[in-house]
């Protein structure tokens, strides 16, 4: 075991090939789906000026108060920078800076990558974790809220999480018209019920009373169940908006539960918030969540511009898939292995492998001078469907031998045009496999 300083830092993990492929698979599912909904990719820097997060997420949140990786750059005077704990604030900063929503335009963007929060690590709670998210900017209508929720649910379904293993929670946070009075009411409730709350929640009466709904402490949860409910105190516009979001969800047949204590951990939310929780994940059961943030552009000095979106966590999505017993597809690493028992034919083996690769066939060969038996084991490990044997006798006749790794049948193939022959043989096997898996052939290779 390596010395502690040569291990990955606490709360971080390496994505080794199996996890990295799973991440790329989920990303591919997301990209395909998001493109159908009209979202375009955006990449923002991994760090931002600290104030982007302090302003956007809110000073009295756990993220800003306790969890940010903040450092000074080397400028004079030094500037405070922070590794992004989430993607929404950077996207709004970038949209404003680059005029994505200038002149009343709208924009639908998605992003993916690592996020950083200094949290106490546990299963599903990492200090570096991976998110995929979308933001719809400039859209204030409730159809946009329902669309984002529908998309998030469709993503999880496409990833393979059974609907019965997920709960969709929704709530409304109101807006600047109805929330201030409600905040004061909750603050008064906290002051009057401090005995049933932890010290931190009791202090929240003065800083950020709504955060008390987020506390994981069971006594606080019990106490906050008796707190005033915003849904009953919404202004007319927020009530109409919330009712419309629900009716769009109903029309789409998307089942949800209203959870009046769902406030989410970020202060930028207005009106609709939502979260998807998965079964079997313990305390860290939120696999994705989001909401509307109609005042965030103004916090950065922009014009009033509505916005909403969601982010989902890769690690928790994987935990949810595992807990539901779902295996992600594990495509072969090399569909074809080019093998030989004759070390002196190494350059011919290499040439055949390269020809297949150039023709688009995932092909591998041995680079370690291994025996034929070991090469066959390697072919098995890589999931190869076919092995191409390069031997002196066949080569003298301008041929190679191809073996089907499933039924062990072998046949000779002319070296001339080997690419087409191997591709055809592979295609037949993809087709047979797809029919066996789904009952219907898919288009080409999956």
Of 288, 305, 364, 390, the residue at the interface with ligand HAM (CB under 6 A) is: 288
Neighbouring residues of 441: CB distance < 8 A, sequence distance ≥ 6: 431, 434, 435
Which residue, 124 or 160, has its beta carbon nearer to ligand HAM? 124
Footprint on residues 318-377 left by ligand HAM (CB under 6 A): none
Which residue, 126 or 248, has its beta carbon nearer to ligand HAM? 126
**Span near ligand HAM by CB under 6 A; candidates 75-83, 120-128, 185-193, 430-438:** 120-128
How many residues sit close enough to ligand HAM to count as binding (CB under 6 A)?
27
**Residue 83 DSSP one-character state:** E
**Span near ligand HAM by CB under 6 A; candidates 217-225, 281-289, 396-404, 412-420:** 281-289
**Span near ligand HAM by CB under 6 A; candidates 22-30, 116-124, 400-408, 410-418:** 116-124
Which residue, 127 or 248, has its beta carbon nearer to ligand HAM? 127
Among candidates 321, 375, 318, which has minimal Cα distance to 345?
375
Which residue, 223 or 272, has its beta carbon nearer to ligand HAM? 272
371: phi then psi, degrees, rounded to nearest 5: -65, 165
What does each C-alpha distance from 34 to 26, 28, 143, 158 come to in angstroms?
12, 10, 16, 12
Among candidates 395, 262, 300, which has minimal Cα distance to 338?
395
Which residue, 13 or 401, has its beta carbon nearer to ligand HAM? 13
Which residue, 133 or 209, has its beta carbon nearer to ligand HAM? 133
Cis amide bond preceding 77, omega within 30:
yes
Please identify which residue in the block is written with the tokens 């022959």: 421
Which residue, 112 or 131, has its beta carbon nearer to ligand HAM? 131
Of 249, 286, 320, 426, the residue at the interface with ligand HAM (CB under 6 A) is: 286
196 is written with which tokens?
Answer: 């049933």
Among candidates 221, 218, 194, 215, which has minimal Cα distance to 205?
194
Of 53, 129, 155, 182, the residue at the interface with ligand HAM (CB under 6 A) is: 129
Helix (H) or strand (E) holding 363: strand 363-365
The burial class, CB within 10 Å (0-12 / 13-18 / 19+), for 179 is buried
297 binds ligand HAM (CB under 6 A): no
The burial class, CB within 10 Å (0-12 / 13-18 / 19+), for 433 is middle
**Residue 100 DSSP one-character state:** T
Give CA–CA dist 262/269, Å, rounded.
11
Footprint on residues 227-266 left by ligand HAM (CB under 6 A): 265-266
What does each C-alpha distance from 132 to 42, 114, 363, 445 come to in angstroms?
11, 9, 31, 25
**Span near ligand HAM by CB under 6 A; candidates 123-131, 333-341, 364-372, 425-433:** 123-131
Other beta carbons within 10 angstroms of residue 350's beta carbon come to 14
Of 138, 142, 289, 362, the residue at the interface with ligand HAM (CB under 6 A) is: 289
**Residue 257 DSSP one-character state:** E
Which residue, 24 or 374, has its beta carbon nearer to ligand HAM? 24
Which residue, 9 or 392, has its beta carbon nearer to ligand HAM? 9
Give CA–CA dist 408/181, Å, rounded.
75
Of 58, 290, 306, 362, the residue at the interface with ligand HAM (CB under 6 A) is: 290
**Residue 271 Cβ vs ligand HAM, minimum distance, rounded to whole Å:** 12
Residue 115: how many CA atoms within 13 Å on its side-chain side?
Answer: 25
Of 25, 49, 125, 423, the residue at the interface with ligand HAM (CB under 6 A) is: 125
DSSP three-state, residue 414? strand
Which residue, 300 or 350, has its beta carbon nearer to ligand HAM? 300
- Asked if 337 contacts 363 with a C-beta cutoff of 8 angstroms, the reply is yes
Among candidates 405, 409, 373, 328, which has minimal Cα distance to 21?
328
**Residue 133 Cβ vs ligand HAM, minimum distance, rounded to whole Å:** 5
**Span near ligand HAM by CB under 6 A; candidates 92-100, 130-138, 373-381, 427-435:** 130-138
**Residue 362 Cβ vs ligand HAM, minimum distance, rounded to whole Å:** 32
Footprint on residues 300-319 left by ligand HAM (CB under 6 A): 309-313, 315-316
411 is written with which tokens?
Answer: 């046949």
**Residue 350 Cβ vs ligand HAM, minimum distance, rounded to whole Å:** 43
How far does the chain reach from its first CA to its final CA, in angstroms? 38
Among candidates 445, 160, 155, which has minimal Cα distance to 327?
160
Footprint on residues 67-106 left by ligand HAM (CB under 6 A): 86-88
- Name the closest residue to ligand HAM (Cβ): 313
**Span near ligand HAM by CB under 6 A; candidates 104-112, 125-133, 367-375, 411-419:** 125-133
Site residues, ligand HAM (CB under 6 A)? 86-88, 117, 119, 124-126, 129, 131, 133, 135, 265-266, 286-291, 309-313, 315-316
């Amino acid at each position: 075991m390596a010395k502690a300083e040569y291990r990955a830092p606490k709360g971080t993990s390496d994505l080794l090939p199996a996890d990295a492929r799973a991440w790329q698979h989920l990303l591919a599912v997301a990209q395909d789906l998001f493109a159908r909904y009209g979202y375009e990719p955006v990449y923002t820097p991994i760090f931002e000026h600290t104030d982007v997060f302090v302003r956007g997420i809110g000073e009295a949140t756990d993220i800003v108060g306790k969890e940010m990786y903040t450092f000074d750059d080397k400028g004079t005077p030094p500037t405070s920078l922070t590794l992004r704990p989430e993607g929404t604030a950077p996207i709004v900063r970038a949209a404003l800076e680059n005029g994505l929503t200038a002149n009343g335009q709208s924009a639908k963007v998605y992003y993916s990558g690592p996020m950083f929060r200094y949290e106490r690590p546990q299963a599903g709670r990492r200090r570096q974790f991976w998110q995929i998210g979308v933001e719809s900017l400039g859209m204030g209508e409730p159809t946009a809220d329902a669309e984002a929720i529908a998309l998030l649910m469709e993503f999880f379904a496409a990833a393979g999480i059974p609907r019965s293993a997920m709960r969709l929670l929704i709530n409304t946070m109101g807006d600047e018209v109805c929330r201030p009075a409600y905040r004061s009411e909750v603050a008064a409730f906290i002051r009057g019920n401090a005995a049933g709350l932890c010290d931190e929640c009791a202090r929240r009466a003065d800083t950020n009373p709504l955060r008390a709904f987020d506390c994981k402490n069971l006594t606080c949860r019990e106490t906050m169940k008796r707190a005033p409910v915003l849904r009953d105190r919404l202004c007319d516009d927020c009530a109409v908006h919330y009712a419309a979001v629900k009716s769009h969800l109903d029309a789409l047949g998307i089942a949800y539960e209203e959870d009046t204590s769902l406030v989410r951990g970020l202060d930028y939310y207005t009106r609709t918030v939502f979260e998807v929780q998965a079964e079997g994940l313990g305390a860290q059961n939120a696999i994705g969540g989001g909401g509307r943030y109609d005042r965030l552009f103004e916090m950065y000095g922009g014009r009033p511009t509505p916005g909403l979106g969601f982010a989902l966590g890769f690690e928790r999505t994987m935990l949810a898939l595992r807990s539901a017993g779902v295996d992600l597809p594990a495509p072969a690493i090399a569909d074809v292995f080019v093998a030989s028992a004759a070390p002196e034919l190494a350059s011919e083996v290499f040439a055949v492998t390269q020809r297949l690769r150039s023709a688009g066939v995932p092909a591998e060969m041995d680079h370690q001078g291994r025996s034929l038996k070991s090469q066959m084991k390697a072919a098995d490990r890589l999931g190869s469907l076919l092995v191409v044997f390069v031997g002196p006798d066949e080569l003298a006749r301008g041929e190679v031998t191809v073996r089907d790794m499933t039924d062990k049948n072998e046949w000779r193939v002319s070296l001339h045009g080997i690419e087409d022959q191997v591709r055809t043989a592979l295609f037949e096997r993809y087709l047979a496999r797809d029919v066996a898996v789904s009952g219907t052939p898919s288009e080409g290779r999956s």
